[in-house]
Chains A and B, each alone.
Chain A
Amino acid sequence: MPATTATRPSDELSRDQRLELFYFARLTRDIEERLALLYRQNKVVGGLYRSLGQEGESVASAYALAENDAVAALIRNLGSVIVQGIRPRAIFAQYMAKGTSPTHGRDLNLHFSHIPNGDDGPIVIGPISTLGDLVPVMAGVGLGARMRRRRLVAMTYIGDGGTSTGAFHEGMNFAAVQKLPLVVIAEDNKYAYSTPVSQQMAIPRIDQRAEAYGIPHEMVDGNDMLAVYDASKRAVDLARQGAGPSLIGVDTMRMRGHAEHDDMRYVSKPLLDAWEARDPITRYRAHLIETEVATETDLVEIEAMSRQYAEDEAGLAEADPGPDPATVADGVVAGGHFQPSVEIVRSPFRVKRGASRHTQPTVVHP
């Protein structure tokens, strides 16, 4: 893809879109902060996987998608599913193993999916714990869409550690030879659990993984939301035009442990301090004020709205019941009565980002 050009895709963003980006990033952080509180109250079941410091890249990359494109988040990409409209209550319910969660208490955190009826809404594919597997799966979503003559783009994420897997390689290579509409956001967040990037790869930049597949790639400052949006939008546009997959490397930092239990003593204080000064939300907030897109008052208002929403949604989920043990054996195979659903919501900005379209009449399923 082209390097820096005179005009950037983000130049086209309206004021509402710029504010919505801020809102989504803020909401992502507020949800996680509320979850951290619930975790300390022992109400979160199992681990809490924060994306602190990485909210900007998850939000800005997914914001490049159309509303009914497909996204597959990993556990640290809460922002991407918030952008695509997953209701925060569902996230809280998942973390608290509630019977109302999108998996009815069967799986945890971001491990859930949403498949709309028809093309009206986002496709969200949940992760599984074995890393790399979603890359071939999302290549397949792209393949399926192409078969159905739908100009859909599939986006997924992979951490530096995940790019070491065979599944990642097989999926990237398959997408490349088939020229599938796939965008992979490869996050160099410096540690895979406790293992530093230097022990994951012998190349200096994570995006160089893409050279083996002969596909476009670039490295961006992952804590610069507009830079991430620009790179992602270029990749999404290429994919939608039929030009095949791209890989965006994002340079960022995981500001918490692998999960909340992990005190991260293997990370140096100076490194954390340096990245703290580059916090993506703080930087984007300052940018909005400097460019006079918003006033301090505007942003304080958005922040209050986001915090209140997270608070309200957490409260609703907290009051939800747990799953009924009598349902444990329902829906092991298809054909039963197990039909979970996730509510899709719009942000208060109600910005429309367009929808992917069919180029020919849809193939109707028999």
Chain B
Amino acid sequence: MAVITYLNAISQALRGEMRRDENVILLGEDIAVFGGAFKVTRGFLEEFGEDRVIDTPISESGFTGAACGAAVEGLRPVVEFQFADFIACAFDQIVNYAAKNYYRWGIPMPVVFRGPSGGGFRGGPYHSQNPEAWFTHVPGLKVVQPSTPYDAKGLLAAAIRDNNPVIYFEHKHLYRRIKEDVPDEDYVVPLGVADVKRAGSSLTIVTYGAMVHESLAVAERLSGEGAECEVIDLRSLSPLDRDTFLTSVRKTSRALVVHEAQLTGGFGGEVAAIIAQEAFDVLDAPVTRVAALDVPSPFAAALEDAMLPTQEKIYAAAKEVLEY
């Protein structure tokens, strides 16, 4: 065990899987010589060589397609998008090619698409987005979003070993800010299993990614006021572990859904709908969502702060649900 950052946990998982399986290769912009825009792959070129750590032209559609083709030949490519925002350039290859291959002809497509996502550090409209809902609508894709170093390492290992295209959104704002004890050895966090990050009986907060930490802070504050929140980290949006949050809501009778992506069409709508449909009989308050405003990610701090969900907004919404 050692205390490592969220970013180091991602590097460890990549390195561990590459040592474990020589079919794992990396493709992306500036990942080899430069070690990646965020240095996730620093030192990889030296250890694994240029055949397995490939600096690509600026061509997200091109290297995404190439990763799919290499998967057909038996490799397990991991693609890095320099920023999750740029995954839009490869949208067609992911949703029309990778996602539908198994259903069409039974060919596994073991490719992982890593996207550094999320805002809060003044990246502006093209370096701050949370595009998970673009992909959770597409059958054939798996979508995960870890919130802690432990989950980041285990989910990435599971994603690489999975025989399906997996989109792995890693939150940039957590990279160096979040640290914890993580086992040195390889392990997996199975895809499709949520985690109860804090137990409680007054209110269920269903969340994922960076908002897990904001929600935990709010839970701590509310605990001081006598309300115990259960904070559920979905970790994996597709496949979705419905049982964990439904069981929790059956216990608390109140649900708040929190994510950093914009509200409308966001994944929280799906969670809210499931709770409304499956746990209507136990609800004591409306299922409530806290998310970013429906605007593009703005650049200036005052604007971005106004747009993103914050602890204050989560706290206010939680109070409303608790006092309904």
Contacts and interface: CB of A to CB of B under 8 A. Distances in A.
A143 B66 contact: yes
A140 B70 contact: yes
19 contacts: A102-B105, A106-B104, A107-B105, A125-B72, A130-B92, A133-B92, A136-B66, A137-B65, A139-B62, A143-B66, A147-B70, A167-B65, A167-B93, A170-B65, A173-B59, A331-B102, A333-B140, A333-B142, A365-B74
A29 B258 CA distance: 59
Nearest to A113: B105
B105 A138 contact: no
A332 interface: yes
A170 B59 contact: yes
A326 interface: no
A321 to B, nearest CB: 19
Contacts of A351: none
Interface stretch (B18-26, B33-41, B144-152, B270-278): B18-26
A18 interface: no
Nearest to B239: A333
Given A141-B72, A144-B75, A136 B93 contact: yes
Residue in B61, B96, B97 with the greatest tally of chain A CB atoms within 10 Å: B61
A-B CB proximity, top 7 nearest: A140-B69, A144-B73, A136-B65, A170-B62, A140-B66, A144-B70, A170-B59
B67 A140 contact: yes
Interface string A300-336: 0000000000000000000000000000000111110
Interface in A204-238: none
A339 interface: yes
Interface of B: 20-23, 25, 51-52, 54, 56-57, 59-75, 77, 92-93, 96-97, 100-110, 139-140, 142, 162-164, 239
Interface string A95-127: 000000011001100011101000000010110
Nearest to A129: B96
A331 B70 contact: no
Given A144-B69, A170-B62, A334-B164, A137 B108 contact: no
A38 to B, nearest CB: 22
Contacts of B61: 133, 136, 166-167, 170
A177 to B, nearest CB: 6
A363 B23 contact: yes
A150 B74 CA distance: 12
A173 B67 contact: no
Contacts of A123: 72
Given A136-B62, A174-B59, A333-B142, A141 B104 contact: no
Contacts of A361: none
A145 B51 CA distance: 12
Given A141-B73, A144-B69, A112 B93 contact: no
Contacts of B77: 140
Contacts of A294: none
Contacts of B60: 170
Contact of B57 (A125, A167, A177): A177
A126 B92 contact: no
B163 A332 contact: no
A195 to B, nearest CB: 20
Nearest to A342: B105
A127 to B, nearest CB: 10
Contacts of B162: 334
Given A170-B62, A333-B142, A103 B70 contact: no
A174 B163 contact: no
A135 interface: yes
A130 B108 CA distance: 20
Nearest to A115: B107
B102 A332 contact: yes
A141 to B, nearest CB: 4
Contact of A136 (B64, B74, B101): B64
B65 A143 contact: no
B11 to A, nearest CB: 22
A148 interface: yes
B104 A103 contact: yes
Given A125-B72, A136-B93, A363 B65 contact: no
B21 A366 contact: yes
Given A106-B103, A112-B105, A334-B108, A144 B164 contact: no
A133 B72 CA distance: 15
A193 interface: no
Nearest to B21: A366
A331 B104 CA distance: 9
A124 B67 CA distance: 17
Nearest to A366: B21
Contact of B104 (A112, A169, A366): A112
A135 B72 contact: no
A135 B65 contact: yes
A340 interface: yes
Given A128-B100, A334-B108, A340-B106, A147 B69 contact: no
Given A128-B97, A130-B92, A174-B59, A148 B73 contact: yes
A332 B103 contact: yes
A342 to B, nearest CB: 9
Contacts of A171: 62, 65-66
Nearest to B58: A170
Contact of B164 (A139, A333, A340): A333
A334 B163 contact: yes
B56 A174 contact: yes
B97 A137 contact: yes
Contact of B97 (A133, A335, A366): A133
A126 B163 CA distance: 19
